[in-house]
Amino acid sequence: MSAPQVSEPIYNIPLQLWPAYAERTVVVRATDPAALAATLATADAERLLGVQLQALAADSEPLNAWQPGMPIELLMGDPETEFPLLYHHTELQDNHPVRVVIPARPGLAKAVKVALALEFPVRIDPGQPDAAALAELAAVLELYLRHSDVAQPVEYLHSTLLGLYYDDPLPLWIAMDEEPGLLYQVADDGTESLPGRLAGVAPTTLARDAGPLAWIEQLLATAPDCQSCAFRRVCGGYFKWPQRDYDCRGVQKLFTELSAAANELRRDLDTAPS
Ligand code: SF4
């Protein structure tokens, strides 16, 4: 779920910590939809920005009519085996914006295809993709760029393409809802850290008040390869975490294809009859 334009921190918390964070702005994650709906039955929508369902095998029916309009993310663990479970959650879309989060692992392309056929927007969690995951990502990119029946956004590809098209890219940290300095991950034991791939990095490692873009500049400064990278503005050093020696050639190839697609789109629109 996209972080709204708020300046106060947003905490991703497990359901059991809801009472402790009731005065904070939060996203709540849980495996049990019935427990989510019961615990958050009267949650203030100003404070609760959305929920994440961590178990796709769970029956999400209790969430169907709960808090209409509340964003829900479905977190997929293993795309190869879990993609059929998406069929059980389509009714959530009657009352909620729903997005599926899929890790770049074997089965990614098939899972994305099913999610899009069911009209779910998708956010790929790319990790630091190895050769097999890069092949899956390339297949998804082909699907996203070339199949005219794809009507839902596939992040991070979608934001990157738009950023390149308008020459105003957002660093992936922001496009992927992992904005350091704004978002915080709270572990089951209550330990707070930075979000997403920065999980485990203590918030005090970088200046808490520096602001998201300043944080990204600090992250970039710790990855020398990024200084000369042609995709520094669209990526923001995202793929150099957590392993700083990650070889970016594969992800740079995907960025190159997105850049070519943005140029092609611009050319097509420039030459289209008015
Ligand atoms: S693609 Fe790799 S080298 Fe380029 S900005 Fe991103 S993390 Fe840095």
User: Quick one: DSSP state of residue 34?
Assistant: H
Residue 88: what pLDDT?
Answer: 97
31, 54 in Cβ contact below 8 A? yes
Per-residue model confidence as pLDDT tens digits over 62-94: 999 999 999 999 999 999 999 999 999 999 999
In a domain, 274, yes or no: no
Evaluate if residue 5 carries a pLDDT over 60.
no
Whether residue 2 lies inside any domain: the answer is no
Other C-beta atoms lying within 10 Å of the C-beta of residue 20: 12
Q: Tokens for 123?
A: 């956010």
Residue 199's pLDDT is 76
Lowest mean pLDDT among 135-139, 188-192, 232-236, 268-272: 268-272
pLDDT band of 180, cuts 50, 70, 90 = confident
- As for how many domains the chain has, the answer is 1
Q: Does the residue 5 lie in any domain?
A: no
Domain range for 223: 10-269
Query: Is position 257 within any domain?
Result: yes
254 lines ligand 1 (CB under 6 A): no
Query: Would 3 be classed as within a structural domain?
Result: no
Global confidence as pTM:
0.90
**Residue 34's pLDDT is what?**
97
Q: Which of 57, 96, 61 is nearest to 77 (CA)?
A: 57
Closest atom of ligand 1 relative to the 232 alpha carbon:
5
Residue 144 lies in a domain: yes
Q: Which of 198, 232, 244, 253 to mutate to test the pocket of ligand 1 (most atoms within 8 A of CB)?
A: 232
The residue whose CB lies within 8 Å of the most ligand 1 atoms, and thus the one to mutate among 128, 198, 225, 241, is 225
pLDDT of residue 247 exceeding 60: yes
Return the pLDDT at 151. Answer: 85
229 within ligand 1 shell (Cβ under 6 A): yes
Count the neighbouring beta carbons within 10 Å of the beta carbon of residue 16: 13
What integer pLDDT is reported at residue 42 of this predicted model? Answer: 84
- Residue 210 C-alpha to ligand 1 middle, in angstroms? 22
Task: Let me know if residue 1 belongs to a domain.
Answer: no
Residue among 198, 217, 218, 231 to mutate when testing ligand 1 (max atoms within 8 A of CB): 231
Q: Is residue 206 part of a domain?
A: yes
pLDDT score at 1: 59
Residue 248 tokens, joined: 């970016």
Closest residue by Cα to atom 3, ligand 1, is: 226
Is the pLDDT higher at 160 or at 219?
A: 160
Q: Residue 183's closest CA among 171, 172, 168, 198?
A: 198
Q: What is the pLDDT of residue 182?
A: 84
Q: Measured from the CA of 235, which atom of ligand 1 is nearest?
A: 6
Q: How confident is the model at residue 148 (pLDDT cuts 50, 70, 90)?
A: confident
